[in-house]
A = this chain, B = another copy of it.
Amino acid sequence: MIDFEKAGGLVPAVAQDADTGVVLMLAWMNREAWEETVRTGRAVYYSRSRAKLWRKGEESGNVQHVREVFVDCDADTILLKVEQVGGAACHEGFQSCFFRKVAGGEVTVVGERLFDPREVYKKV
C-alpha cells in the first residue's frame, strides 16, 4: 500500500486541517508509524532527529485525530486530513508550520502565534 523501501524506509506525510484545508505540517513516517496511525486514528510520525516514533502531541497535548487518509499516485507520500487539537500543529506555537512567507527575497511571518512554546515545552 505504501512504498517504504523507495527512499530508505521513510515517506513524507502531509497533515492538512480537515475543516479549513490549511496545510499544517509535513513529517515522516516509517512503517511502524504508518501502521499505528491507521490503527489508532491518531497521527504518529517518525522523528528523524530523535530517531524514534513521535506520537504527535505526546508532549504538547496537541494530538491530531485522523479523519481521512490518502496515498499518492506513486504510493510514496501520505496525506492525512486531521482534526488538530489545540488549533496549533507547529512546535513554535503557530497553527501551521508554514507560517513564513517568501516573497521578493524576503521572509515574513504571516501566521498568528497561538501558544508560547516556552510554556508548553519544558525544554524550550
Partner-B contacts on A (CB < 8 A): 1, 12, 14, 16, 20-23, 25-26, 38, 68-74, 77, 79, 90-92, 94, 97-103, 107, 110
10 closest residue pairs by CB, A with B: A21-B21, A70-B98, A72-B97, A69-B102, A79-B98, A26-B77, A73-B97, A12-B12, A73-B92, A71-B100
Identical copies in the complex: 2
A22 touching B23 by the CB < 8 A rule?
Answer: no
A1 in complex: contacting residue of B26, B73, B107, CB < 8 Å: B107
B12 touching A26 by the CB < 8 A rule?
Answer: yes
CB contacts (< 8 Å) of A91 on chain B: these are: 73
Q: How far is the CB of A84 from chain B (nearest CB, A)?
A: 15
B70 touching A101 by the CB < 8 A rule?
Answer: yes
A101 touching B21 by the CB < 8 A rule?
Answer: no
Q: A101 CA to B80 CA in the complex, in Å?
A: 10
Residue of B with least CB distance to A104: B38
Q: A74 CA to B89 CA in the complex, in Å?
A: 13
A102 in complex: contacting residue of B25, B70, B102, CB < 8 Å: B70
Q: How far is the CB of A24 from chain B (nearest CB, A)?
A: 10
